[in-house]
Structure 1
Amino acid sequence: MLKHQRIIPLTILLGSLVMASCVSNKKYLALQTQHQDLAALYQKGQVDLAESRAKVKSLEDQLEQERKNNAALKEAYSKLQTTLDNSISQNSQGNVNISKLVDEINASNKYIQHLVNTKNKSDSLNVVLTNNLTRSLSREELRDVDVKVLKGVVYISLSDNMLYKSGSYEISDKAGETLSKIAKIIQDYKDYEVLIEGNTDSDPISKTNIRNNWDLSALRASSVVQALQNNYGVEPKRLTAGGRGEYNPIADNSTPDGKARNRRTQIIITPKLDQFMELIDKAPEADNAPTVEDL
């Protein structure tokens, strides 16, 4: 009986141990499973962290690139602004230059118009003066005398056939009446200077007392000067004699007609400098000038 009583507690103890052992295995297995889950979760967290770090690095790189792009845009904007400012400045200067150019064109047009008016007036005056100077000459004399007025200067060209004996510087008898009329013209311009200019053709002179055409042209001019002084009362201080020989031709010396035209004596009646300036009108005032819009 006692022995049987001892066996029962032992059985109970063993059963308790077996039951305790079963509970411990379950907890272990549960803990092991939980550990594995935590390990897997940790591993996933590490992967996620690495990915997050990679994304942060990528974002930081993008931010740095955008900062660089922004700096480049600012620099480009600054250059564009500078270019715009320069363009505006140059455009303003260009407007000033264009305005100045328009003013210069207007002034030039004004002066051109003045010259045209002056030329028209001068041409009309020259025609009137030429007609007045030649009206006392006969038709026969007009064949040997050419009278022109250019810019207030009177040019009277006399052929050598009318003035001189052939190959001589002595004035012929038939030239007296024509020279008297020329002297009247000179006396009408009493305050003007008078240049007598001799010219020859290219044929060499063969006179023993005349060296060359320079001598001949100067002697012929001197003969006319002395005739005007001694025979027609022209003041000698107004007179100048000069010779140009064969070196101022107005025609071709290869033909007889050309040579005849080159053998001439020219009387040039010229105003003194102060009188000449009086013949030139002053330019009109700017207010009367034609503008670009008027053209």
Structure 2
Amino acid sequence: MIKRLSLIALILVTLSSCVSKKIYTDLEDKYANLKKENRRLTDDLESTTADKNKLANDLNSLQAAYDEAVKERDQLRSDYAASQTNLENLKASYEALEKNSSAEIAKNSKKNRELLAQLEAKEQALAAENERLQKLKKELDSRSQRVAELESVIAAKDANMRALKDAISKALTNFEGKGLTVEQRDGKVYVSMENKLLFNSGSWSVGTEGRKAVNQLGNVLAENPDIAILIEGHTDNDPYKGNAQLSGNWDLSTKRATAIVNILRENASINPENLTAAGRGEYAPIASNDTAEGKAKNRRIEVILTPKLDEISKLLNDI
């Protein structure tokens, strides 16, 4: 059996060495373009989260301004009531003084006119303040509605990602305990497959069991066309000593990621525009490379599923 496996591995290596430099260069160019697109999507997500936080801060500021305006209006009402009381007192004084002298009557009449002018000015100020409060409240309600819509969209996308994670977990149940994990964090779904499930040492050819797992994952992804799919290849820090056609671990990790992409592309229902292959080499470990167990965990393929943010971006542009 070992001799047979060695013979198959030798044949695969011989076949892979026949790939032309043009095909390899095309793959490298496509990888660079897809990597830029992945970076743009990541930046869009971070920008969307920052915009949401800014909008929440603006809403709090607007609420504080509204509360201050209500306080000022209440003060104006209080001043208006006090002025009315003063007016009544002056009217009473006017009636008493009217009997004593025309000079006093003239004096009180002037005070009354001044007080009436003050009351009119306060009434106008109160009316203007009420109008400003109405406009402020209308703007506050509008902002609150937009924030609610944005939060609803984000919540829906989170729910969709949870459903996607559950569907993937269910589809890949048979591979539990074989180096495959599925988890959701930061609004994304991460499917991690250790190399022992996918590749032989130093090879980027996917084995039968690994191909079966990737195909079952592809069946779930085909039903979710609005998901961006990033396939990352990772290695441990042992220097690569295999095929001389490769320059090292980074090159190997890229070829392994591309191999997974090619299997997914066999599913005609998966949009190739949603796929990105990336090699991370040894530079994104999840465990220590000081132990054999840690090295095994670091040798992996990660499939990172990200919701598309077109709807959220449109909402932000409308605010």
TM-score w.r.t. length of structure 2: 0.45
TM-score w.r.t. length of structure 1: 0.48
The structure number with the bigger radius of gyration is: 1
